[in-house]
């Protein structure tokens, strides 16, 4: 039978991206829904063929332990709720797929990893780009076709609509844990690490003063630098108050890579520019058959559990990004002074 997921939190990402993606899964299906709004759960349950006995609220969620149709819980809630629901899911004897950012503190991430180990269950973080063939092509080119990687530039941003509930919790520190960096900049942080296959040893960051009172609790716009032992440097920005942007530029000694968009849902692209083409991005963009990142991600955990194969995006991977983000916030809140992140290089190739 297919690997069964319970989806916890029926907000925008769950409803618009994840639930429809099950249609293209080979090994996974949705078997339960968990929501604070039972009518919404009923409506979606009807659409996806899930019976009332597999609909849960946040309060009676722990009963999921007795639901044999549920193998894993996929947590798609505001960031500060990730840790508690992960622990509850492990206590219920389920595997966990948890959205990015993994949690709002390093301590929470550690608790989640420990709970998974204690339960003997897998913990995966929702880094969908790890399942994007364009990203895989970019990583391959970064390893083989640009010479020595020197400089990464990465920018991620979007406009905020304060009337939309999906943005309201993002503006509230107690629910989000931070602003543009936690929500969007994390793609640049994680992406720089997989592009270089290396962890930074020092970070620095500056948070710009908010341009609107709605951003008073969180970073509206932040810029940062990450330095690597190899000599490479990544610099990036994230903003909640710009026209949408999602891009990577990787400059090597012999060639450059450009991804724009880099981390979108469906239409990422990568182009490769060699010496001699310095002013024209003339080499073809790599057109790669679109793969549904969401379905591939859902299947990946199912396959990993069935065959006991390693996960592409582990809790440790998620925790490293949260640690780096916290170090950037520490720098930003102390006059942008450099903060050492030389915690040892444990990365493996994705």
Task: Kindly list the residues in this chain that would bind ligand NAD in the complex (CB under 6 A).
Answer: 9-14, 36, 76-79, 81, 99-100, 126, 128, 165-166, 169, 175, 183
What are the structure tokens assigned to 229, written together? 């032992």
Q: How far is the CB of 237 from ligand NAD (least distance, A)?
A: 18
What are the structure tokens assigned to 198, written together? 């290396």
**Closest residue to ligand NAD: CB criterion:** 11
* Gap between the Cα atoms of 176 and 69, Å rounded: 31
Cβ closer to ligand NAD: 11 or 338? 11
Size (the chain), residues? 350
Cβ closer to ligand NAD: 149 or 177? 177
Active site residue 100: yes
Short-list 326, 309, 301, 302, CA closest to 109: 326
Q: How far is the CB of 262 from ligand NAD (least distance, A)?
A: 13
Pick the catalytic residue from 94, 100, 137, 227.
100
* Gap between the Cα atoms of 201 and 223, Å rounded: 17
β-pairing, 339-340 vs 285-286, is unpaired
Cβ closer to ligand NAD: 35 or 271? 35
What are the structure tokens assigned to 66, written together? 């007795």
Active site residue 127: no
Q: What is the CA radius of gyration of the chain?
A: 20
Cβ closer to ligand NAD: 12 or 117? 12
* Gap between the Cα atoms of 125 and 4, Å rounded: 17
* Gap between the Cα atoms of 260 and 265, Å rounded: 12
Query: Catalytic positions, please?
Result: 100, 187
């Amino acid at each position: 039978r297919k690997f069964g997921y319970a989806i916890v939190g029926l907000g925008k990402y769950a409803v618009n991206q994840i639930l429809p993606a099950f249609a293209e899964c080979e090994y996974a299906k949705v078997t339960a829904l968990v929501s604070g709004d039972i009518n919404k759960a009923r409506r979606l349950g009807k659409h996806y063929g899930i019976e009332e006995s597999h609909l849960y609220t946040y309060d009676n969620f722990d009963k999921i332990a007795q639901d044999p149709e549920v193998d894993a819980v996929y947590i798609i809630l505001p960031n500060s709720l990730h840790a508690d629901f992960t622990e509850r899911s492990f206590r219920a004897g389920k595997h966990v797929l948890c959205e990015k950012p993994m949690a709002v503190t390093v301590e929470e991430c550690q608790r989640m990893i420990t709970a998974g180990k204690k339960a003997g269950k897998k913990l995966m973080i929702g880094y969908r780009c790890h399942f994007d063939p364009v990203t895989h092509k970019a990583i391959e080119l970064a390893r083989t076709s640009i010479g020595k990687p020197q400089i990464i530039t990465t920018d991620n941003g979007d406009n905020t609509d304060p009337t939309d509930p999906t943005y309201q919790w993002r503006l509230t520190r107690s629910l989000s844990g931070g602003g543009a960096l936690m929500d969007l900049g994390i793609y640049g942080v994680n992406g720089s690490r997989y592009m270089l296959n290396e962890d930074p040893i020092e970070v620095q960051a500056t948070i710009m003063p908010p341009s609107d009172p709605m951003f008073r609790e969180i970073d509206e716009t932040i810029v940062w630098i990450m330095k690597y032992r190899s000599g490479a440097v990544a610099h990036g920005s994230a903003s909640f108050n710009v026209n949408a942007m999602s891009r990577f530029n990787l400059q090597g000694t012999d060639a450059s890579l450009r991804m724009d968009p880099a981390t979108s849902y469906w239409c990422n692209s990568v182009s490769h520019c060699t010496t001699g083409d310095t002013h024209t991005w003339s080499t073809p963009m790599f057109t790669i058959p679109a793969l549904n990142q969401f379905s591939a991600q859902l299947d990946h955990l199912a396959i990993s559990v069935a065959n006991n194969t390693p996960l592409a995006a582990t809790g440790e991977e998620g925790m490293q990004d949260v640690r780096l983000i916290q170090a950037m916030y520490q720098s930003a809140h102390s006059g942008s002074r450099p903060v050492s992140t030389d915690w040892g290089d444990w990365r493996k190739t994705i």
